[in-house]
């Protein structure tokens, strides 16, 4: 009897799969408008993100803009070898990693601290005003902000007037003409522009922390800073981990718009990063295959960093992207 029962269980049961199909079809019909919206997003990603990936093959060819990609001759890894043998490579890597490291070291924790302290404000009106003022620069393009910074940092700009008025400096300084100041300008201006906007994600995560935990901490005699350390930070640990993983994967990105607006021939030694290097070699010098190879190397390294950071985060605190 047990053998017969086992044989029956091993036989396919079409009525179960049919029921699942009917349930899935019913769910799709009930969510038809949401499904249409989702399909539009999927179509956008396919058209603008996946189909253009065909052009990556020019990194392995000697592409000329007057001919099609299929007509370009194959050169294998020649473009990759040329990049690794380029004399500009050490300086480009140094500038890229240097600015990204300080942005990660300073710019990543500041939005977390800002969100923690902003959350402690008791006045709702003051909280909204500070938040609005802080994330307003995010909505201005780097073309506008670059013009503002160039005016402020000029010889007759407000920065020199303030520093000379406080007797910190004796004569005006052309900050954008000095390579030694460029990294500081980039890091400071990036934090100024994105601090408030980045804090919104952490504020949303803080809002999801259970009020019961704060009440229990208050009963135990915890102060504000103790609640921030023992309740709020553990409550947003998952959000911090995910954003840190994404930040690690983007260390080779140097905010192309920002650097392109603020760089000039005088600070080129400190402003030549991978994104600028790809732009100059690809669009300015028309070396399309070479710039595609550099961009492909950058993408592969970013993927490796993403996988490593995701694996480490998953092992340390069980928070990861996948």
The full set of domain ranges for the chain reads 13-57, 77-317
Q: How far apart are CA 56 and CA 252, in angstroms?
A: 19
Decide if 153 contacts 97 (C-beta within 8 A): no
Question: How many other CB atoms are there within 10 angstroms of residue 164's CB atom?
Answer: 14
Residues 6+ apart with CB under 8 A from 320: 241, 242, 245, 310, 311, 313, 314
pLDDT in tens, 82-116: 999 999 999 999 999 999 999 999 999 999 999 99
pLDDT score of 1: 44
What integer pLDDT is reported at residue 179 of this predicted model? 93
Q: How many CB atoms lie within 10 A of CB 213?
A: 15
Residue stretches of the chain with pLDDT short of 70: 1-19
Q: What's the pLDDT at 4?
A: 47
Q: Cα–chain-centroid distance for residue 167?
A: 39
As given in the structure block, the two tokens for residue 4 are 């017969």
Say which CATH superfamily domain 77-317 falls into: MetI-like (1.10.3720.10)
Task: Return the number of other C-beta atoms located less than 10 Å from residue 77's C-beta.
Answer: 11
φ, ψ (nearest 5 deg) of residue 123: -80, 115
Tell me how far apart the alpha carbons of residues 231 and 234 are, in angstroms, rounded to a whole number. Answer: 6
Which pair of structure tokens corresponds to residue 118?
A: 């902003």
Other Cβ atoms less than 10 A from the Cβ of 91: the count is: 16
User: Which pLDDT score, from 0 to 100, does residue 8 have?
Assistant: 45
Quote the CA–CA distance of 281 and 292 in Å, as a whole number. 10
pLDDT tens, position by position, 177-211: 999 999 999 999 999 999 999 999 999 999 989 88
- The burial class, CB within 10 Å (0-12 / 13-18 / 19+), for 201 is middle
CB atoms near residue 133 (< 10 Å): 10
Long-range contacts of 183-189 (CB under 8 A, 24+ apart): 183/98, 183/99, 183/102, 183/270, 185/149, 185/153, 185/262, 186/99, 186/255, 186/258, 186/259, 186/262, 187/99, 187/102, 187/103, 187/106, 187/107, 189/145, 189/149, 189/258, 189/262
Tokens of 30: 């009930």
Q: Return the structure tokens found at 241.
A: 């981990």
Residue with tokens 């023992």: 230
* Contact partners, residue 169, CB within 8 Å, separation at least 6: 160, 163
DSSP 122: -
The reported pTM is 0.82
Contact status, residue 111 vs residue 244, Cβ threshold 8 Å: no
Number of CB atoms found within 10 A of residue 78's CB: 15
Cα distances (Å, whole numbers) of residue 6 to 14, 15, 16: 17, 18, 18
Tell which residue, 193, 197, 151, 200, has the closest CA to residue 176.
Answer: 151
Q: Fill in the DSSP letter of residue 321.
A: -
């Amino acid at each position: 009897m047990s053998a017969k029962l086992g044989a029956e269980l091993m036989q396919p049961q079409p009525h179960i799969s049919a029921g699942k199909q009917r349930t899935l079809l019913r769910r799709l019909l009930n969510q038809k408008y949401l499904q249409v919206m989702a399909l539009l997003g999927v179509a956008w990603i396919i058209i603008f993100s996946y189909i253009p990936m065909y052009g990556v093959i020019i990194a392995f060819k000697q592409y000329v803009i007057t001919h099609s990609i299929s007509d370009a001759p194959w050169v294998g890894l020649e473009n990759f070898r040329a990049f690794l043998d380029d004399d500009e490579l050490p300086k480009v890597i140094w500038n890229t990693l240097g600015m990204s490291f300080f942005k990660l070291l300073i710019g990543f924790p500041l939005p977390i601290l800002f969100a923690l302290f902003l959350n402690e404000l008791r006045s709702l009106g003051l909280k909204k005003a500070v938040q609005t003022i802080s994330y307003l620069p995010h909505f201005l393009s780097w073309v506008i902000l670059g013009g503002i910074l160039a005016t402020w940092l000029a010889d007759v700009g407000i920065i020199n007037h303030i520093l000379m008025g406080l007797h910190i400096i004796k004569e005006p300084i052309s900050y954008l003409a000095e390579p030694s100041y460029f990294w500081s300008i980039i890091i400071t201006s990036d934090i100024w522009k994105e601090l408030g906007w980045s804090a919104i994600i952490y504020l949303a995560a803080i809002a999801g922390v259970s009020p019961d935990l704060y009440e229990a901490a208050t009963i135990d005699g915890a102060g504000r800073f103790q609640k921030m350390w023992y309740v709020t930070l553990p409550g947003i640990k998952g959000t911090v981990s995910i954003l840190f993983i994404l930040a690690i994967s983007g260390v080779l990105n140097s905010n192309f718009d920002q650097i392109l607006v603020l760089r000039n021939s005088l600070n080129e030694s400190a402003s030549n990063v991978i994104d600028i290097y790809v732009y100059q070699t690809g669009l300015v010098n028309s070396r399309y295959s070479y710039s595609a190879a550099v961009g492909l190397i950058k993408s592969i390294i970013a993927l490796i960093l993403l996988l490593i950071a995701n694996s480490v985060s998953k092992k340390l605190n069980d928070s990861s992207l996948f």
